[in-house]
Amino acid sequence: MIMSLRIFVVIKLALRHPCFMLFSFNIGFDGMQDMSNSTSSNPSTLLPLELVDKCIGSRIWVIMKGEKEIVGTLTGFDDYVNMVLEDVVEYENTVDGKRVTKLDTILLNGNHITMLVPGGEGPEV
């Protein structure tokens, strides 16, 4: 049963976005991820920075600490997950309502990132 779930997740995610083509995980009996396999013994396991690297050139949805969410095309990043994004749309919740800002290129500080969604189109406005 666990093998079926794993294959379904990989296929479903691969169909949604090319960044996920090699992304999979192993579930142990206690529901925790099995971290005993390294990438050399299990080629289907993908490290976080490898997943981000596969997303270069693709749209990515970045959920920030605070009230901001950013959607843009990932053009580069470093080991601290500082990111360069192009064709950016910034969504911000303010006391006056939602504000949407369009920007050409930004350098995003990785310390302020909460979650990345490869292929994400951002929040519903």
CATH of the domain at 75: 2.30.30.100
The model's confidence at residue 120, banded by pLDDT at 50, 70 and 90, is confident
Domain presence at residue 27: yes
Question: What's the domain range around 32?
Answer: 2-46
Domain presence at residue 32: yes
The model's confidence at residue 17, banded by pLDDT at 50, 70 and 90, is low
- 87-117 pLDDT, tens digit per residue, is 999 999 989 999 999 999 999 999 999 999 9
Same domain? 22 vs 42: yes
For 55, the token pair is: 């997303």
- 33-83 pLDDT, tens digit per residue, is 444 444 455 656 889 999 999 999 999 999 999 999 999 999 999 999 999
Q: Are 105 and 88 a contacting pair, CB within 8 Å?
A: yes
Tell me what pLDDT residue 33 has.
47
For 72, the token pair is: 């843009």
Domain presence at residue 77: yes
Same domain? 36 vs 58: no
Domain presence at residue 81: yes
User: Domain total for the chain?
Assistant: 2
Q: Are 117 and 63 a contacting pair, CB within 8 Å?
A: yes
Instruction: Confirm whether pTM is higher than 0.95.
Output: no
Same domain? 41 vs 58: no
For 44, the token pair is: 């289907």
Domain presence at residue 125: no
